[in-house]
Amino acid sequence: MKRINSRERGSAIIEFTMAGIPMIFILFTTMQVCIAVWNYFTLDHAVNLAVRYASLHGATCSSGGNTCTVTLGQVATQLANYATGVPAAKINATFTTDSGSVTTCNPLTSCLSNGTTWPPSANNDNQVGSDLTIRAQFNMNMTLAMFWFRDGMVNNDGTLGFPAQSTQQIIY
């Protein structure tokens, strides 16, 4: 019996190395994927709510005799507020009107104080029935990115990009 025990010394360390370390990697990878998916769906929902907010505040919108048009900063603030848990400094947003006028906010925080009316009145972009589109992308640093081979998701800096887009017509 003594001979068998002396030959098995150190086997627990080898077993842990062979099974424990890969399990820890799988655990951390699973947690990162769960956080990434949660951030993606949060951003997607936030983009949808922000473009809806803008579509309800067109040129013909009035509340108590006052116009209720909004600025780009207010729409960007709504997007940042709706994207709970997603850092606004890591969101790149593009605001596009029906005529193709594009305003880019890289990062989103650069547009939070923008006082320009959006959508603008130029080219009849602020009329009932005109389309408004908001595109946003959240870039997340992930350990998993170095193993991800799908084109379009992995950026040049090794982050994964999660895009979201929504288009709605101006209602008022």
pTM of the model: 0.81
pLDDT of amino acid 159:
75
The predicted-structure confidence for 67-113, as pLDDT tens digits, reads as follows: 788 899 999 999 999 999 999 999 999 999 999 999 999 999 999 99
Q: Between residues 150 and 117, which one has the greater pLDDT?
A: 117
pLDDT at 6 over 70: no
Q: 161 and 139 in contact (C-beta within 8 Å)?
A: yes
pLDDT of amino acid 172:
78
pLDDT of amino acid 145:
59
Indicate the angle between helix axes 21-55 and 72-82, nearest 10 degrees.
140
Query: Maximum distance among all alpha carbons in the chain?
Result: 95
Per-residue DSSP letter, 71: B
For CA atoms 51, 55, 59, 64, the dihedral sign is negative
Mean pLDDT of the chain: 85
Q: What percent of the chain has pLDDT over 70?
A: 83
- What's at 52, amino acid-wise? R
